[in-house]
């Protein structure tokens, strides 16, 4: 946008005066942040408003991305960057003597998501606007985001994240006039009407008022503003009488109160099912109403509307779309079904069987009686359609209702025209294994869309030093055209340049070290290798394998204090789902090993272990630029894609990885010499499953290193963790090490030794790092979303 610094300063002072009746030098950082956010909203209000009108008036096909999670983190800098005024504002703040970073830090991290899935949804919102595509988000305005993690005596404690405070979210705009009603519970009877169709009659339903809050999604320097719509629940005025007690009201308000802190396995909770339906129903009713404003026939709705189901949580979009078309607008089943399948598409984010969402029929029927009827009908028609054409077993495995459970992935696949995985390997495994039965029926529905990241946030915003360095070498064009990063390869043998990148990394490490010192009281040496694993805590992600190696190093140094090794700092950040016992025990042990190691002077600072509490997007922005080694060590075949792996590489960290998820594509991008791969591949893992021949106890008994390391959990070396240590010992030895840590251990140790050796060769290491940065452009979410736009949604973009 066109703006001079002087004009901005006038606008900003004005805004502060009006919002808070203060002068700039008397204002608090929070007031400055709020005023700046208000000002941004003012700057974009015209394109934001016009965008909605244009799309309705011009008959442009629009994609609606439904996700139960959106994880944008802080939005101030992204918004300023995308408006093209980040530098100007920073500069202006210097002129008026305000520390810009303090203003940035006054913003709360918007954490309406658990991890990768939610972050990806937020990234796609930015990318949709950036490629100028008509793509809007639909989600839930949770009052409490993902819990805040505190560590007390080494244990994870969960605290509520009341991110909305008393004044709400500065970026949102409430739209009470666009509220709609959503019905749950009650009984439904179908009566035949004059046209021979059935009309539902609801007896005693609970009626909810869904109120939207809109958040602008600003495209990168292109004038486009899309919308993210988050729904909040209220009690409709007409129903007020029914909810006299606080208790009664709370039952309703609870619906949008909390984000389920569950990142993989699924706990059936009726509240969650209501959340899913609430969001989907409110969103789809609105979409259909808006479509009707074009004056077009409802049976052609698929020509202007695409609905995306991000993981199965919004899968009720399929029966709800059918319900609205049939019950509210009288479309016949066949036409409604034809449109539904063309409108819907679905992304799968996991192959862990326990994470595939299923609902108990009785619960489902009670909460969503009409939707249950429709799902039943979809299921019977499906079975009828495929019977005789496919073996009975395949039909049984793919139908929606089986063993008194509703299988949400099956509903999403049958009810849509596209199902995609999130990395090549992941899609291959869906096709060959997890969803193979479906693949035989609908091969044409399957496609891959490898995840991507908002490269601007993970370079320009979180790593300004590196970004300036890149500018010096290849100019600034890469900031808007990420593929130009490739030009950095020209400097791969330029020692001066390599040294400069090394120094940039060191500066970032010092910044992180200062944070660690301040928050944890632990002193870190910026010349040590910063070896980082940050992600949700889950057995398959194998933080425990990392810990086993740390314990090995501990014994190596204890045995031989003169051992020649580059000092190493292991950094962890990870939240565990509150009910996930094993994951919480791993956190406890990481912290106790940290205590053991950090307080042992005989290790002479060769080894440090840090667990940074409350890992979130904001903390990631500090940690990732300061990392030398990116730990991506999941059991092959288990991590659908990973996205932090992409963020690390773009910040010049070397990936230490198994051949899993997008690690494989990172390897393809950088070449075998610029990544460190270890461990079993997927075939080898599957081989164990087939042959049932894995024997963890044997490895433990026969390999003295493994033996000693595993025994450390139960021999009293690690203090204050007897029961957790035993639990981990049992998981590895008595329960046969489900994720093959012991089998991969040696190869991991060797890979770590190799890292140690090459780090000594500063030039070689820096070459690897630069190669990673130069080849990170292919993981831009802008490119990923272009493929969604072209190959799944058929929507236009710039």
Regarding 546 and contact with ligand T68 (CB under 6 A), the answer is no
CA nearest neighbour of 220 among 1, 532, 430:
1
Asked if 784 interacts with ligand T68 (CB under 6 A), we say no
Task: Pick between residue 114 and residue 655 the one whose CB is nearest to ligand T68.
Answer: 114
Does the annotation mark 647 as catalytic?
Answer: yes
d(Cα 251, Cα 357) in Å, to the nearest integer?
24
**Least distance in Å: CB of 508 to ligand T68?**
24
Establish if 742 lies at the interface with ligand T68 (CB under 6 A).
no
Q: Does 217 bind ligand T68 (CB under 6 A)?
A: no
Burial class (CB in 10 A: 0-12, 13-18, 19+), 538: buried
- For 289, residues 6+ apart whose C-beta sits below 8 A from its C-beta are none
Closer of 115 and 777 to ligand T68 (Cβ) = 115
Structure tokens at 107: 């913003």
Shortest Cβ distance from residue 558 to ligand T68 (Å)? Answer: 36
The residue sitting closest to ligand T68, measured at its beta carbon, is 116
259 lies in the site for ligand T68, by CB under 6 A: no
Site membership for ligand T68, residue 145 (CB under 6 A):
no
Contact status: 542 vs ligand T68 (CB under 6 A): no
Q: Which is nearer to ligand T68, 9 or 146 (CB)?
A: 146
Catalytic-residue membership of 506: no
Do residues 60 and 796 make contact, with C-beta atoms less than 8 angstroms apart? yes
CB of 736 to ligand T68, least distance (A): 24
73 binds ligand T68 (CB under 6 A): no
Our answer to whether residue 5 is catalytic in this structure is no
- Binding to ligand T68 by residue 428, rule CB under 6 A? no
Residue of 32, 541, 549, 568 marked catalytic: 541
Among the listed residues 51, 209, 308, 349, the single catalytic one is 349
Report the site for ligand T68 in 627-666 (rule: CB under 6 A).
639-643, 661
State yes or no: is 535 an active-site residue. yes
In the bound state with ligand T68, the residue whose beta carbon lies nearer, of 301 and 423, is 423
Task: Tell me if 414 sits within 8 A of 385, measured CB to CB.
Answer: no
Separation between Cα atoms, residue 300 and residue 342, nearest integer Å: 10
- Per the DSSP assignment, residues forming a β-bridge with 85 are none
- The helix (H) or strand (E) run that includes residue 180 is strand 180-184
Choose the catalytic residue: 256, 398, 450, 643.
Answer: 643
CB of 536 to ligand T68, least distance (A): 7
Q: Identify the three-state secondary structure at position 527.
A: coil
- 467 vs 641 by CB, closer to ligand T68: 641
| Cβ atoms 118, 69 nearer than 8 A | yes
Closest CB 535 distance from ligand T68, rounded Å: 9
Between 311 and 327, name the residue whose CB sits nearer to ligand T68: 311
Rounded alpha-carbon distances, angstroms, from residue 381 to 154, 378, 400, 765: 54, 5, 11, 60
CB of 541 to ligand T68, least distance (A): 8
Is 782 one of the binding residues for ligand T68 (CB under 6 A)?
no
Is 164 strand, coil or helix? coil
114 sits near ligand T68 (criterion: CB under 6 A) = yes
DSSP-assigned beta bridge partners for residue 230: 139, 213
Number of residues that make up the chain = 798
Give the C-alpha separation, 614 to 147, whole Å. Answer: 9
Rg (CA), the chain: 27
Query: Min. distance of Cβ 449 from ligand T68 in angstroms?
Result: 9
- In the set 74, 536, 538, 606, the catalytic residue is 536
Candidates 94-102, 110-118, 192-200, 429-437 — which segment interacts with ligand T68 by CB under 6 A? 110-118
Q: What is residue 250's three-state secondary structure?
A: helix
Burial class (CB in 10 A: 0-12, 13-18, 19+), 108: middle
Binds ligand T68 by CB under 6 A, chosen from 47, 72, 116, 314 = 116
List phi, psi (to 5°) of 136: -115, 150
- The size of the interface with ligand T68 (CB under 6 A), counted in residues, is 19
Map residue 289 onto helix, strand or coil.
helix
| DSSP calls for 434-462 | ITHHHHHH-GGGEEE----B-HHIIIIIT
For the chain, how long is the longest CA-to-CA vector? 91
Angle at 309 between CA 307 and CA 312, to 5 degrees: 155
Is 541 labeled as catalytic in the residue annotation?
A: yes
Separation CA 1–CA 3 (nearest Å): 6
Site for ligand T68 contains 543 (CB under 6 A)? no
- Should residue 90 be labelled a site residue for ligand T68 when binding is judged by CB under 6 A? no
Per CB under 6 A, 451 contacts ligand T68:
yes
Binding segment (CB under 6 A) for ligand T68, from list 92-100, 262-270, 327-335, 395-403: 262-270
- Which one is catalytic: 456, 505, 535, 786? 535
Q: Contact residues for ligand T68 (CB under 6 A)?
A: 114-117, 120, 262-264, 349-350, 355, 422, 451, 639-643, 661
Residues noted as catalytic: 349, 535-536, 541, 643, 647
């Amino acid at each position: 946008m066109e703006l001079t610094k002087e004009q901005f300063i006038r606008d900003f002072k004005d805004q502060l005066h009006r919002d808070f009746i203060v002068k700039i030098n008397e204002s608090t950082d929070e007031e400055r942040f709020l005023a700046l956010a208000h000002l941004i909203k003012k700057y974009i209000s015209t394109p934001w408003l016009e965008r909605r009108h244009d799309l309705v008036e011009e008959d442009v096909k629009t994609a609606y991305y439904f996700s139960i999670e959106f994880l944008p983190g802080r939005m101030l800098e992204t918004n300023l960057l995308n408006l093209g005024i980040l530098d100007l504002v920073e500069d202006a703040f210097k002129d008026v003597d305000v520390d810009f970073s303090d203003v940035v830090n006054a913003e709360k991290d918007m954490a309406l998501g658990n991890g990768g899935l939610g972050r990806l949804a937020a990234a796609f919102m930015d990318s949709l606007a950036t490629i100028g595509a008509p793509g809007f988000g639909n989600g839930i305005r949770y009052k409490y985001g993902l819990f805040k993690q505190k560590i007390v005596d080494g244990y994870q404690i969960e605290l509520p994240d009341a991110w909305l405070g008393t004044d709400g979210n500065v970026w949102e705009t409430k739209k009470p006039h666009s509220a709609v009603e959503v019905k749950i519970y009650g009984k439904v009877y179908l009566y035949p009407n004059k046209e021979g169709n059935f009309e539902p009659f609801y007896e005693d339903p609970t009626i909810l008022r869904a109120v939207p809050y809109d958040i602008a999604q600003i495209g990168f320097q292109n004038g486009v503003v899309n919308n993210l719509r988050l729904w909040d629940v209220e009690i409709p005025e007409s129903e007020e009488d029914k909810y006299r007690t606080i208790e009664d009201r709370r039952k309703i308000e609870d619906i949008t109160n909390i984000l389920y802190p569950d990142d993989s396995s699924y706990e059936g909770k009726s509240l969650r099912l209501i959340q899913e339906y609430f969001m989907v129903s409110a969103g789809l009713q609105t979409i259909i109403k808006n479509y009707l404003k074009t004056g077009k026939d409802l049976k052609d709705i698929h020509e202007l509307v695409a609905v995306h189901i991000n993981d199965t949580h919004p899968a009720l979009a399929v029966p709800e779309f059918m319900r609205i078309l049939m019950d509210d607008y009288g479309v016949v089943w066949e036409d409604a079904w034809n449109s539904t399948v063309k409108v819907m598409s679905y992304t799968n984010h996991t192959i862990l069987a326990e994470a595939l969402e299923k609902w108990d029929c009785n619960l489902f029927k009670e909460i969503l009686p009409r939707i249950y009827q429709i799902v039943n009908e979809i299921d019977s028609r499906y079975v009828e359609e495929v019977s005789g054409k496919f073996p009975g077993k395949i039909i049984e495995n793919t139908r929606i209702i089986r063993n008194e459970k509703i299988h949400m992935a099956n509903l999403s696949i049958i009810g849509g025209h596209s199902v995609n995985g999130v990395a090549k390997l992941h899609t291959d495994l869906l096709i060959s294994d997890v969803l193979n039965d479906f693949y035989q029926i609908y091969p044409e529905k399957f496609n891959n869309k490898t995840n991507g990241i908002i490269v601007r946030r993970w370079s320009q915003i979180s790593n300004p030093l590196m970004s300036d360095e890149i500018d010096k070498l290849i100019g600034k064009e890469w900031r808007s055209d990420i593929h130009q990063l490739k030009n950095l390869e020209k400097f791969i043998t330029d020692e001066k340049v390599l040294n400069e990148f090394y120094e940039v990394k060191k500066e970032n490490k010092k910044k992180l070290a200062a944070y660690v010192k301040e928050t944890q009281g632990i002193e870190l040496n910026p010349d040590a290798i910063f070896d980082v694993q940050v992600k949700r805590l889950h057995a398959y992600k194998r933080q425990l394998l990392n810990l086993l190696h740390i314990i090995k190093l501990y014994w190596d140094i204890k045995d031989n204090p003169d051992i020649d090794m580059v000092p190493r700092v292991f950094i962890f950040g990870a939240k565990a789902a509150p009910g996930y016992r094993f994951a919480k025990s791993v956190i406890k042990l990481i912290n106790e090993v940290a205590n053991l190691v950090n307080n042992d002077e005989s290790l002479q600072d060769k080894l440090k272990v840090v667990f940074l509490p409350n890992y979130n997007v904001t903390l990631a922005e500090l940690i990732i630029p300061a990392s030398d080694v990116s730990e991506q060590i999941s059991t092959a075949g288990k991590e659908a894609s990973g996205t932090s792996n992409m963020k690390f590489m773009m910040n010049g960290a070397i990936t230490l990885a198994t051949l899993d998820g997008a690690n494989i594509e990172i390897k393809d991008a950088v070449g075998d010499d610029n990544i460190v791969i270890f461990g079993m591949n997927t075939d080898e893992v599957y081989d164990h499953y087939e042959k049932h021949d894995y024997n963890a106890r044997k490895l433990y008994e026969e390999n003295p290193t493994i033996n000693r390391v595993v025994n450390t959990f139960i021999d009293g070396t690690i203090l204050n963790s007897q029961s957790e240590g035993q639990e981990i010992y049992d998981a590895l030895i008595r329960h046969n090490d489900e994720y093959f840590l012991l089998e991969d251990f040696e190869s991991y140790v060797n890979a770590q030794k190799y890292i140690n050796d090459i780090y000594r060769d500063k030039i070689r290491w820096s070459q690897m790092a630069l190669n990673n940065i130069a080849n990170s452009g292919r993981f831009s979410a802008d490119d990923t979303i272009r493929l969604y736009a072209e190959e799944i949604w058929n929507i236009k973009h710039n």
